[in-house]
Structure formats: C-alpha cells, structure tokens
Chains A and B, each alone.
Chain A
Amino acid sequence: MSQDQKHQVLKRKLGPEELRRLETPAIERESHGQTSAKSSVPDSASTVAVDFAGVTKSYGNKVVVDELSFSVASGECFGLLGPNGAGKSTIARMLLGMTCPDAGAITVLGVPVPARARLARRGIGVVPQFDNLDQELTVRENLLVFGRYFGMSTRQSEAVIPSLLEFARLERKADARVSELSGGMKRCLTMARALINDPQLIVMDEPTTGLDPHARHLIWERLRALLTRGKTIILTTHFMEEAERLCDRLCVLEKGRNIAEGGPQALIDEHIGCQVMEIYGGDPHELLSLVKPHSQRIEVSGETLYCYAPDPDQVRTQLQGRAGLRLLLRPANLEDVFLRLTGREMEE
C-alpha cells in the first residue's frame, strides 16, 4: 500500500479533524499552538496501531463494553476517558488478549487479538492501574526479571537497564528494594519496566491515580518524553485535566459505549463552544431566572451555577450590584463536555 493509499484509509477511519491533529506531533502543538498544520504526513502516522470494531463484552447480564469502535494511529496519544465502571480497564485487558470479547474484532499492531495476542504483546508495554512490581526484589532486579519474561538474556537486559533507570530517574535507587520507593518512584519504575522490550505501543491504565501533584507532573513529563520518541500511547483516565493535557484524541466512554470521539479542543468546541461562567454565593434559583435569557445553557450543581454564555459581559451586567456574589469566568474544559454528554441535570 502506498503512502497516499494509507493516508486515505486513515482519513476514512479518523475523519479530517483528527487527521489534521495527527499530522502535527503533540510536542509541536504544545509549542506552536494547534494551528500549525504540517504539509506532510509523518511516517509514524501512516499506520493504524490499534483498531476496535464493534467490540462487545458482558459479564452475566451486565454489558461492560457495548459495540465499541475506535482506531488509534501510530505515534498518537489516545485517551479512553470515563468514570469508574465505564469499561476502561476491560478495554485495556481485551487489547492485551487477557480477556476475550463476546463479539467484534480487535487488531493490535497489525495482529488479530486475542488469537495472536502473544505476538502482539511483543510490541506492547503496560503500565497497570494497580502496582504489581515485585516488592521483594530491587529496582534493577525487577527490570532484569521482567526482561526474562520477554525472553531477553541477562546480558541483553543489562545493556538496556542503565537507560531505563535514567528514564525513570532512579539511577541512585538501582539497588533499593521496591518497598523502599515512594509512590511516584514506583510508578516511574513501572513505566521503565514497560519499556524493557522497546514496545511500539504503551498501554497506561490510570497512570496517575493516587499520586501526589508533584509525582503526577513527573509522570506527565515522562509520558510526553515517550511521545517524542514516537511511541503510541493508549491512556485510560477519569482525570479530565490529564486527558486534556496529553491526548491527541480521545474517546469519551459511558457504560462501555463510545459517546464522543475527537481531539480535546475539538470536543470542547463542538459540545460547549463558549466560555463558562461559574456563579456562586447567592440563591441559585433566583440567579437562574436572572441570567437565563443571556445563556445558551445553564447547569445548577449545589450552590453553583454553570452558565454557558456566548457573551459573558451581558451576564456580568445583569448581575451587577448584587452583593456577595462571586463570578469566575474560565475557558470550557473536558469536564464540561463530560458532564454535558453524560447528562447531569441541565437547563437548556
């Protein structure tokens, strides 16, 4: 298949907006803003790394993944965003061939899964949600032992361990037991462990859950370093900021269904399309009637009013002179999209 043909296939699968975002590597968008489209398609973007087509999985009567379809191109960071119980971990397990789907087809790195999952896993690194490092072993031994599971000899593993320790910033902890490491260090070690087989695709299941802000930023920074190396990343998270910061594209999941898919900004533009004014400090129902004529949509949550207004100044004028009110005008984010799509009670 020629480069152009591959591009066409990708275009059909992903749509023009996603493709435009793909054509610009994430790092470049970070520095130049997202309008800097490039003229040529990078090689890494010309293949599909992961493809789910109509995948369904149920346990008993409970449908966990429902007719799910998505495609991830090589070199992109793709997010699976959803609350707990949305099916994210089941999707990750199916991708690795650790759970068989009831229906549908999964292709990972050009190989059908679960039929040839063992071959696919050769190119996959996994950072799981729950720490499963070997607590009894040292940092170095953890890497060495994991290399053996991929059939690597001690010599082969020892050749790559220094660079992995450097990546994880654990050079000085090489001979420390895992039980002596902090939560952030353990997660960095898990990331390094996932790289021992030099995978093309890295699956990260809730990589920053339970970490303090400092460790979280370190993980994000390491994750971006992987993207610059051209790795493909599938990231499951319920953490909107994480998805917004890192993902090129994402799919919003609710009860195992794909309810929206696209770039973070594209989703925000499509589903919210304006700034959000948070109003609190007064009687929300009284405020509601005041600002309603000037808003596209209003949502009340507790004592806070979320006001999606094309012209926030009008709302501000309307509320002028009222004592004790606090107004916060902010750009819309994925959380707003998520709440909109999953239907917290909303006033149109």
Chain B
Amino acid sequence: MIEGFAAALPANAWNWVAVWRRNYLAWKKVSLVTILGNLADPMIYLFGLGTGLGIMVGRVDGASYIAFLAAGMVAVSAMTASTMETLYAAFARMHSQRTWEAMLYTHVTLGDIVLGELAWAATKAFLAGTAITIVTATLGYAAWPSVLYALPIIALTGCVFASLAMVVTALSPSYDYFVFYQTLVLTPMMFLSGAVFPSDQLPHAFQQIARCMPLSHAIDLIRPVMLDRPIGGIALHVGVLGLYALLPFFLSMALLRRRLMR
C-alpha cells in the first residue's frame, strides 16, 4: 500500500514542468479571451462595490473603501481563478478528455500530473491577481512599490486553493458536485475572511472560524503590503498557507490514486 503510494509521488523535481507546459500551450491559443473573462468579474466587483458602497461606507480601517476592498478582490480573484481551473478544466482533463490517462503511459507519475496541474492553476491565479494589483496600483488605490510584495503571496494563495480544489476534483463523481464546494465553502469564506468588510466586526465565534480559513491569512498578508502598512505575524500566515497547500496536495494524490489506479 505504502509502496504503491510512493510510486504515485512526483518522480523528481522537474517532471511536472512537462504537464505545466502542455496546459500553457493549450491556453496560449485562447489566452486573450480567457484573460479578459477572468479579469472582468473581479474588476466589476471592485469598482461596482468599491465606488457604490464606498459612498455609504466612507473610510474603513483608515483607508478608502475601494482601497480596502482591492486587497480582498486580489485574494478572491486568485482563489477563484485557481479553483475554477482545478475543478472544471483539470477535471475535464482527468475525466472526459482522458489527457491524464495518456500522460500515465509515459515517464510522468500521478504525482507529477497533480503537481503540474497545481502549478498551472497557481499560474493562472497569479496572472489574475497580478493584473488586478497592477490596475488598482495604477489608479492610486495601492502603494508602489510595496505592492510588489503581494505577488509571491498571490502565487501562494493560488497554490492553496488549487490544492484544496484538487481534493474536491478527486472526490467528485461529476461536474455537478462542484457547485456545493463553491456555495458552501468558498462563498462563506469570502464573507468571513475580511475580503469585503473587516472581520473584526464579526461575532467572536465567527472570528475564530475565520482565523482557520486560508483566505483570511492571504488577505492579512496582501492588504498591509497594498496599503503600505506594517505586517504582523508573517511567519504564522505563511506557515498556515503552506500547510493548506501541502496537506491537501498529499491527500488529493492518495484519493486520485485510489480513483485512477485501482
């Protein structure tokens, strides 16, 4: 059993790149359309809520509401981009298109495939998050150059949500189950984690729950750097995000091995 799991692990540190490059090649052909599609949604939220609600809300934590919201939208867009890629696109490659099956005929192991898919989903999250960061910084809602520190955190956030979504992909019999994860896990997380309003306004119990959620740790890192403020507890936030990236990765691999290599 353990031996079988070992065989499913990534074969080495670079095999996953072949899987990543396959996805990149396929994406390149439709990149313009997907970039526009991925950006439109968070931008509309940012400016719709930011300007509309901003008039009523006034300043939040000493910043304009739109500047406060920008950090939340960057984290949420990274979360959404990597989740969508791993739930729908990776599931299609595993299930209906049988792309993974073809990969398993070769030198690539199941672990290499999962790692390649996660890295690809994180790349898309990085692109989406970075694009919004640049737009908000250009419009003066985020501080240069400290905003650049947000980029590695966006990438890490992408890894976390790709890894979590891979567990859902591994367990789902069909596309129909993904909506439960989105509505029952991701949407509440967005509201609890301080993306659209400060989480310290929540009742104590909800604040405790929020502290366990990866999105709040991502926002706690991204918001201060975008607003050029000191960050507290960097090691804790990065550590929690790291665990959320690593543990589901191994869990999803074990689940996928059971699903695909029976």
Q: Could you tell me which A residues sit within 8 Å of B by CB distance?
A: 59, 96-100, 114-115, 117-118, 121-122, 124-126, 128, 130-137, 141, 145-146, 148-151, 193-194, 197
Q: Could you tell me which B residues sit within 8 Å of A by CB distance?
A: 3-4, 7, 11, 15, 18-19, 21-22, 25-26, 29, 97-99, 101-109, 260-262
Q: Are B105 and A141 in contact (CB under 8 A)?
A: no
Chain B CB within 10 Å — which of A98, A100, A145, A193 has the most? Answer: A145
Nearest-neighbour CB distance to chain A for B71, whole angstroms, equals 35
Q: Are A122 and B107 in contact (CB under 8 A)?
A: yes
- Using CB atoms, name the residue of chain B closest to A57: B262
Q: A100-B4, A114-B4, A118-B7 are in contact. Are A137 and B26 (CB under 8 A)?
A: yes
Q: Give which listed residue, A118, A131, A150, A193, contacts B109 with CB less than 8 A.
A: A118
Q: Is the interface of A mostly helix, strand, loop or mixed?
A: loop
Q: Are B105 and A121 in contact (CB under 8 A)?
A: yes
B residues less than 8 Å from A134 (CB atoms): 22, 26, 97, 99, 102
Q: Are B7 and A128 in contact (CB under 8 A)?
A: no
15 A-B contacts (beta carbon < 8 Å): A96-B104, A96-B105, A99-B261, A99-B262, A117-B7, A118-B11, A126-B105, A132-B97, A132-B98, A134-B22, A136-B29, A146-B102, A146-B106, A148-B18, A149-B108
A residues less than 8 Å from B7 (CB atoms): 97, 114-115, 117-118
Nearest-neighbour CB distance to chain B for A163, whole angstroms, equals 19
Q: Are A149 and B18 in contact (CB under 8 A)?
A: yes
Please measure, in the bound complex, the distance between the C-alpha atom of A224 and the C-alpha atom of B205, giving whole angstroms. Answer: 71
A residues less than 8 Å from B102 (CB atoms): 128, 132-134, 146, 193
B residues less than 8 Å from A141 (CB atoms): 25
Please measure, in the bound complex, the distance between the C-alpha atom of A100 and the C-alpha atom of B7, giving whole angstroms. Answer: 11
Q: Are B21 and A145 in contact (CB under 8 A)?
A: yes
Q: Are A115 and B3 in contact (CB under 8 A)?
A: yes
Q: Give which listed residue, B4, B15, B22, B262, contacts A59 with CB less than 8 A.
A: B262
**A-B complex: 5 closest residue pairs judged by Cβ atoms:** A132-B98, A149-B106, A148-B18, A126-B105, A132-B102
Q: Give which listed residue, B25, B98, B105, B260, contacts A145 with CB less than 8 A.
A: B25
Q: A115-B3, A136-B26 are in contact. Are A121 and B107 (CB under 8 A)?
A: yes
B residues less than 8 Å from A132 (CB atoms): 97-99, 101-102
B residues less than 8 Å from A59 (CB atoms): 262
- Using CB atoms, name the residue of chain A closest to B101: A132
- Using CB atoms, name the residue of chain B closest to A199: B105
B residues less than 8 Å from A121 (CB atoms): 105-107
Chain A CB within 10 Å — which of B26, B104, B108, B260 has the most? Answer: B104
Given contacts A132-B97, A149-B106, A150-B106, 5 further A-B contacts (CB under 8 A): A114-B7, A128-B105, A137-B26, A145-B25, A149-B18
B residues less than 8 Å from A137 (CB atoms): 25-26
B residues less than 8 Å from A99 (CB atoms): 261-262
A residues less than 8 Å from B109 (CB atoms): 118
A residues less than 8 Å from B15 (CB atoms): 151
Q: Are A149 and B98 in contact (CB under 8 A)?
A: no
A residues less than 8 Å from B19 (CB atoms): 149
Please measure, in the bound complex, the distance between the C-alpha atom of A242 and the C-alpha atom of B224, giving whole angstroms. Answer: 69
Please measure, in the bound complex, the distance between the C-alpha atom of A136 and the C-alpha atom of B92, giving whole angstroms. Answer: 13
Nearest-neighbour CB distance to chain A for B10, whole angstroms, equals 11
Please measure, in the bound complex, the distance between the C-alpha atom of A197 and the C-alpha atom of B22, giving whole angstroms. Answer: 18
Q: A117-B7, A145-B22 are in contact. Are A151 and B107 (CB under 8 A)?
A: yes
